[in-house]
Chain A
Amino acid sequence: MSEKVFVLGGEQTDFQRNWTKEGKTFMSMMREVLDDALEKVGISYDEIKRLNKENKVAVFVGNFDAEQYANQGHLGAFLTEVNPALFGVPGARYEAACASGSVALDAAITHIRAEDYDLAIVLGVEVMKTVSSSVGGDFLGTAAYYEKEAKGVQFPFPKLFGKLADVILERYELKEERFMDALAEISRINYANAKRNPKAQTRTWFMNKEHAMARGGDNNMAVGGRLCITDCSQVTDGAAVTLLASKGYAKEYAKKTGRKFDDIPRIKGWGHRVAPITFEAKKLESVGDKYILPWTRQTVKDAYKRADLDVKNIDVFETHDCFTSSEYAAISAFGISEPGKEHIAIEDGTIDFGGKKPINPSGGLIGVGHPVGASGVRMMLDLYKQVTNTAGDYQVKGAKNGLMLNIGGSATTNFVFILGK
């Protein structure tokens, strides 16, 4: 499949912005990000019109919960409000909780692979600052089994990922202090990386290891078992676009824009697995397995197999660090360490910005911010930047292949993509 689907780039909004405070909506966000993405990539609305005449362009919108946050559905059709060039362009909205961006990418990849379209516009979007954090926390609870895991629970997801931290600690018989230190280091790395990213939500926020270690109290409150504020990513308003293309179109595009075709990265592998939805069921199922999240590991393995690559070939990772515990578990899922030895990869600097296997040079969800439906598309965009050497101050030197893991729910929906040249 690595010769079928190409990534031409894209753009994201500044995740520090609060669109409600600006008096703007998800529609204005879609307009800005799409205009910016097309300008950056060098594709005009006239070109979209041309492709549309032959039914060779389509739109895939990743979004989790616009109905509740913005009182609006039918987002696939909403791009027609952005620009009349999109009249007639097939478009739909895709949803898989925090992996909504990835399921939109997956649909776009599938259509391009099937040679239905030459160009796919994948737009992830979420406006979340329309409600208070407790109301928003309740909305997010619908990504779990609401009735069993979220109803009447304040901030259900920190609690679910707090349970993941508990299971890691117990199952691998880790020393609590060492484990919590490793989680704090994950937090430190993500915030430090985000400082180099001009679109990151937290780029002006204060955070260091000392603060991440100082859990408890008013300034770093416990929100889910062992996990405190510094262990959590924070929701925000944001959108991201990536443009995917067929081989033929990518070749044409390279010629038109004076780029080298060989420099355009391609999707080399993918994986998609769904684990049992409740955390309790996941926990029970994984008893006896080396991996606490075996379906996450399986998704990574599927992607490696399809790409005919392994961890040794991957130069940079973008992972779903909705909480420090989810990034911790991802380290072994990627194969960077053995399960149970993740803390060593953290302690010895392997996953740090300058390490052998850097994770989240962008800052990840903890640093960049987590506009739920946009995160998967943002990760793909960041992989694109890394493998095309255009990530600016957060460029990982010499990155050729990148892998992203985007999860929905408590590691329920798992999506992995590998991008490289």
Chain B
Amino acid sequence: MREIKTVTILGANGAMGSGSAGVIAAFGGAKVYMLARDVEKAKQGIEAAVASVKTDTIRARMIPGSYDADLEKAVAESDWVFELVAESYEVKEPINIRIAKARRPGTIVSTVSSGLSIGRLAKAYDEDGQKHYYGTHFFNPPYKMILCELVTHSGNDKKVTQALGEYLDKVLGRAVVYTNDTPAFAGNRIGFQLMNEVAHFAEKYADKGGIALLDEIMSGYTGRAMGPLATADFVGLDVHKAIVDNIYENTKDEAHETFKLPGYFQKLIDAGKLGMKSGGGLTKVVKHADGKREKFVYNIKTGEYDPYPKFDIPFIKEARQKIKESNYKAAMDVVKTASGFEADIARYFISRYISYSLSLVGEVVDTKENTDGAMGFGFNWVPASAFVDFLGGPKETIKLMEASKIPVPKLLKDAKEGKKFYELGEKLDARSLFKG
């Protein structure tokens, strides 16, 4: 096991920086240099780190500092430099040049980028530096969301990758998923495909309920705690845009067109309505004088906010009841056989999600367990392979895909009938991700 005694965190005051630092100082027992633009911000990061993992024991081994005064000294002492500064080449590349100059041979350097090219960022380093450069994509909040996408590029050394993976898994308690250096890696590529295409459908069905309707159709009974559009609203429409634009510009796969940002998203972004963090976006909550809170949803047609509607869609109600009783296959039978355009949409997206997840095996990841882990641990969505089992196996799933005119991935065509398709069951009980 690789020994990591000293770590430098760059971007220590951000939510991801402080949360990751908390995990490293607590689980890893490491001394952590907490670097930010100024020492005061770094000190705030330390307190946030303590609060995130709820242990005062780490405070003493976290040392605050600033980029200007302390970067070179901290990096020179470190076994791992974890960079979490703003998500752009313009910010990351100059700081990498400084790290590269101060770094000792053998020191690991990684970034938490959720979409930038790891290979391009690695170019700031000499040969040894490139060998030790990775993407370590933690999810927010790091203590609770245990996924780490370990992103490799062509210059890495397999032995170092293995040692780092072991450290992240055994010492830091991460669910490690190995991905290649492709746009948005595995989790975001799959997750934002679905979210963005659902957003397009919300526009298409704006007259019938739009955003609220689509989130209802894609709610907990389809294996997620939060609707896809509620998720977009939660992460922020600006972040959503950055991720889908990057994928749209840099990939050309079967789902390429679905990564185009919907016009109404851009309109909301231009108006500063970025989602929950800015007090409103796809939805907003208004607190009335009597203290009661009321939820509203953006009307794509009118540009106004309407009261959030309630729906009564019989097949969804029935499927939810089956899930409430832990009768998952029966719930999926309801979805498979229901009639009406809402059921067609549900089947379309379930098919799309499984198909797209499995289609990335070979390009983005080496095995389906990596995409399954990314979605299960990173998004709390029922992994694609588990869905295949709940739907009754590969044949049944293929039928569903064909009916929705979704491409059938080779992995599914080649799958053996009568054998469990989902192989992460001992690590992640997929049933827990369905909501009744």
- Which A positions have Cβ atoms within 8 angstroms of B? 13-14, 17, 22-25, 27-29, 31-32, 195, 198, 204, 206, 208, 210-211, 214, 217, 219-220
The distance in angstroms between the C-alpha atoms of A357 and B26, with both chains bound, is 29
Q: Is the CB of A198 within 8 A of B427?
A: yes
Closest B residue by C-beta to A217 = B56
The distance in angstroms between the C-alpha atoms of A193 and B148, with both chains bound, is 23
Q: Is the CB of B426 within 8 A of A31?
A: no
Known A-B contacts A14-B432, A198-B426; the reply to A23 vs B57 at CB < 8 A is: no
Q: Is the CB of A27 within 8 A of B146?
A: no
Q: Is the CB of B173 within 8 A of A195?
A: yes
Residues of chain A lying within 8 A (CB to CB) of residue B434: 22
The distance in angstroms between the C-alpha atoms of A202 and B426, with both chains bound, is 16
Q: Is the CB of B57 within 8 A of A32?
A: no
Residues of chain A lying within 8 A (CB to CB) of residue B323: 23-24
Contact pick for A24, options B56, B324, B429, CB 8 Å: B324
Q: Is the CB of A210 within 8 A of B57?
A: yes
The distance in angstroms between the C-alpha atoms of A31 and B220, with both chains bound, is 20
Residues of chain B lying within 8 A (CB to CB) of residue A13: 429
Contact pick for B326, options A32, A195, A210, A220, CB 8 Å: A32
Known A-B contacts A198-B426, A198-B427, A206-B27; the reply to A25 vs B324 at CB < 8 A is: yes
Closest B residue by C-beta to A29 = B326
Closest A residue by C-beta to B328 = A32
Residues of chain B lying within 8 A (CB to CB) of residue A214: 55-57
> A25, A28, A206, A217 — which one has the most chain B CB atoms within 10 A of its CB?
A206
The distance in angstroms between the C-alpha atoms of A25 and B173, with both chains bound, is 30
Q: Tell me if B275 counts as interface (CB < 8 A to partner A).
A: no
> A28, A198, A208 — which one has the most chain B CB atoms within 10 A of its CB?
A28
Closest A residue by C-beta to B23 = A206
Q: Is the CB of B432 within 8 A of A23?
A: no
The distance in angstroms between the C-alpha atoms of A208 and B28, with both chains bound, is 11
Q: Is the CB of B325 within 8 A of A31?
A: yes
Distance in angstroms from B16 CB to nearest chain A CB is 18
The distance in angstroms between the C-alpha atoms of A138 and B435, with both chains bound, is 29
Residues of chain A lying within 8 A (CB to CB) of residue B327: 31
Q: Is the CB of A23 within 8 A of B220?
A: yes
Distance in angstroms from A336 CB to nearest chain B CB is 30
Residues of chain B lying within 8 A (CB to CB) of residue A22: 432, 434-436
> Could you jot down 27 A-B contacts, CB within 8 Å?
A13-B429, A14-B429, A22-B435, A23-B220, A23-B320, A23-B323, A23-B435, A23-B436, A24-B325, A24-B436, A28-B324, A28-B325, A29-B326, A31-B325, A32-B326, A195-B173, A198-B427, A204-B146, A206-B53, A206-B54, A208-B29, A208-B57, A210-B57, A211-B26, A211-B57, A217-B56, A219-B54
The main secondary structure of chain A at its interface with chain B is loop
Residues of chain A lying within 8 A (CB to CB) of residue B326: 24, 28-29, 31-32
The distance in angstroms between the C-alpha atoms of A347 and B29, with both chains bound, is 22
Distance in angstroms from B127 CB to nearest chain A CB is 37
> B23, B27, B56, B323 — which one has the most chain A CB atoms within 10 A of its CB?
B56
The distance in angstroms between the C-alpha atoms of A229 and B414, with both chains bound, is 51
Residues of chain B lying within 8 A (CB to CB) of residue A198: 426-427
Residues of chain B lying within 8 A (CB to CB) of residue A31: 325-327
Distance in angstroms from B45 CB to nearest chain A CB is 17
The distance in angstroms between the C-alpha atoms of A32 and B54, with both chains bound, is 33
Residues of chain B lying within 8 A (CB to CB) of residue A195: 173
Contact pick for B325, options A27, A208, A217, A220, CB 8 Å: A27
Residues of chain B lying within 8 A (CB to CB) of residue A32: 326, 431
Known A-B contacts A22-B432, A214-B55; the reply to A204 vs B173 at CB < 8 A is: yes
Q: Tell me if B133 counts as interface (CB < 8 A to partner A).
A: no
Residues of chain A lying within 8 A (CB to CB) of residue B23: 206
Distance in angstroms from B226 CB to nearest chain A CB is 12
Q: Mark B52-66, 1 if CB is under 8 A from A, else 0.
A: 011111000000000
The distance in angstroms between the C-alpha atoms of A217 and B436, with both chains bound, is 38
Distance in angstroms from B374 CB to nearest chain A CB is 17
Residues of chain B lying within 8 A (CB to CB) of residue A29: 326
Q: Tell me if B143 counts as interface (CB < 8 A to partner A).
A: yes
Q: Mark B351-388, 1 if CB is under 8 A from A, else 0.
A: 00000000000000000000000000000000000000
Closest A residue by C-beta to B175 = A204
Residues of chain B lying within 8 A (CB to CB) of residue A217: 56
Closest A residue by C-beta to B425 = A198
The distance in angstroms between the C-alpha atoms of A13 and B432, with both chains bound, is 10
The distance in angstroms between the C-alpha atoms of A219 and B320, with both chains bound, is 38
Residues of chain B lying within 8 A (CB to CB) of residue A14: 429, 432
Distance in angstroms from A72 CB to nearest chain B CB is 14
Residues of chain A lying within 8 A (CB to CB) of residue B143: 206
The distance in angstroms between the C-alpha atoms of A25 and B435, with both chains bound, is 11
Distance in angstroms from A36 CB to nearest chain B CB is 10
The distance in angstroms between the C-alpha atoms of A17 and B435, with both chains bound, is 12
Residues of chain A lying within 8 A (CB to CB) of residue B146: 204
Residues of chain B lying within 8 A (CB to CB) of residue A208: 26, 29, 57
Closest 7 CB pairs of A and B: A28-B326, A23-B436, A206-B26, A210-B57, A219-B54, A31-B326, A211-B55
Distance in angstroms from A305 CB to nearest chain B CB is 39
The distance in angstroms between the C-alpha atoms of A198 and B173, with both chains bound, is 12
